[in-house]
Structure 1
Amino acid sequence: MTRTEKAEFISSLTEEFKASDGLIVCDYKGLKTKALETLRNASRPDAIKVKVIKNTLASIAMTNAGIEGLELKDTNIFVWGDDQLLVTKVVADFAKTNQNFVIKSGFCAGEVVDATKIEALSKMPSRNELIGMLLSTWMAPITNFTIGLDALRAKKQDSE
C-alpha cells in the first residue's frame, strides 16, 4: 500500500468511525476464514462493517475520529455500525458460537467499554423491540375492552 493509498484509507476510515455509534475491537486469532465470512454475512443486513485493519492505521483513524482510550495489541478485527445495540448483538452472538473470537473492548456512546459491558448491551432490547413492547402496552386496554364486549355479547345471546 502506497503512502497516498494509506492516507485515503485512513481518511475514509476516520469518516466511517465518526459516523458510527458503536465500535468494537475483537481478537480473532485462530479463527477460520469460513467463520469470519459467517460473521460478515451476519452483519451485512444491519449495515455493520467488519474489517481486519492494521493497528497503526486504525489507531490513526480512531484518533482523527475522536475515539481515544482503546488499546490495540495483537490481532484485531474491528466491527462498527450506526446502531450500537445491533453491533453488540452481532458480536456477542458470534462470540457465543466461536471460542477463538474474543471481545476485547469497544467505544459506545462516546465512552470506552469493556467486554462485560458489551455483553450487557447486547442483551438489551433493540429499538424495534422496544417499539413493539410499547405498542402492545398501548393496545392492551383496547384488546381487553373488545374481549369484554365480545363476552357480554355472547352472554346476552345465551340468555335469549
Structure 2
Amino acid sequence: MLTKAQKAQIVAELAAEFKEAGAVVVCDYRGMTVEALEAVRNNAREQECKVRVVKNKLAQLAIKEAGCEELVLTDTNIFIWGETQVLPCKVADKAASDNKDHFSIKTGLIEGKAADLATINAMAKLPTRDELLGMLLNVWNAPVQNFTIGLDALRRKREEEA
C-alpha cells in the first residue's frame, strides 16, 4: 500500500516527465508474461523512452498537473513516453505487433493533446530524426557518387584507348 506522500511524489515525478514528453502512449498489457514486459522495457530503454505501470487515478492527476488534455483511463495501463513524438509510438507499435493477444495501444498524448489509436499508429510509421538525417545524407552523397563513377568510367575508357 502506498502512503499519501509516496503517491504525491509519484504524481509530481510523472507530471514533470509528462510535461516534457513529446508523446505519452497508454497501452493495455493484461495477460502479458514478465519476459514479454521486460522485452518491451528493454526496447523502450534502447529507444530512450520510459515505461511505467501506474494506477489510473495517479496517472490522471499527473496528466492534469502537467497541463495536458485529460484522458479517460480504465482497466490496467502501462505508460510509454519519451522526449520525441515518434519513438514512444514506435515502441508501443512494436510491442503491440510482437504481443498481439496481450498488448494493445489504447490512447495517448502527443505534445500534451489527446491522440487516438489511428494518430499513434501513423506516428509510429514516421521516420525518426536519425533516419531522416540518413536519408538526407544519401541525397547529398548521390551527386558526388555519380560524379566519381563517371570519372572512373572516363579513366577506364582513356586507358583502353591508350
Q: 1:146 aligns with which of 148, 156, 160?
A: 148
Cα separation, 2, equivalents of 1:69 and 1:9: 18
Aligned length: 160
Q: Distance in 1 between the 2:83 and 2:124 partners?
A: 15
CA-based RMSD of the aligned residues comes to 1.0
Cα distance in 1 for residues equivalent to 2:17 and 2:126: 25
Gap regions ≥5 residues in structure 2: none
1:132-153 CA-to-partner distances (Å, cap 9, x unmatched) read: 1111111111111111111001
**Alignment correspondent of 2:96:** 95
Structure 1 residues 47-62: aligned runs within 5 Å: 47-62=48-63
Runs (4+) of structure 1 exceeding 6 A deviation are: none
Aligned to 1:69: 70
TM superposition shift of 1:47: 2.1
User: Are 1:42 and 2:43 an aligned pair?
Assistant: yes
* Equivalent position SS for 2:76: coil
Any stretches of 5+ residues in structure 1 without a counterpart? Answer: none
Q: What is the identity percentage for the equivalent residue pairs of Structure 1 and Structure 2?
A: 47
Contact 2:15 2:63 (C-alpha < 8 Å) held by counterparts: yes
- Output the CA distance in 1 between the equivalents of 2:26 and 2:135: 31
SS of equivalent to 1:75: coil
One-letter amino acid of the counterpart of residue 140, structure 1? A
How far residue 110 of structure 1 moved from its aligned partner, in angstroms, is 3.5
Alignment partner, residue 124 of structure 1 = 126
- CA–CA distance in structure 1, aligned partners of residues 48 and 4 of structure 2: 29
Partners of 1:110 and 1:131 lie apart in 2 by 26
Q: Which amino acid aligns with 1:137?
A: V
Bigger mean CA offset, 55-64 vs 36-45? 36-45
In the alignment, does 2:99 pair up with 1:106? no
SS at match of 2:73: coil
In the TM superposition, residue 84 of structure 1 has moved relative to its aligned partner by: 1.7
* CA deviation string 1:28-71 (max 9, x = no partner): 11111111111111111222111110000000000000112321
Greater shift after overlay, 36-45 or 57-66? 36-45
**Matching residue's letter, 2:134:** G
Q: Distance in 2 between matches of 1:127 and 1:47?
A: 13
Aligned partner of 2:45: which letter? R
Matching residue of 1:82: 83
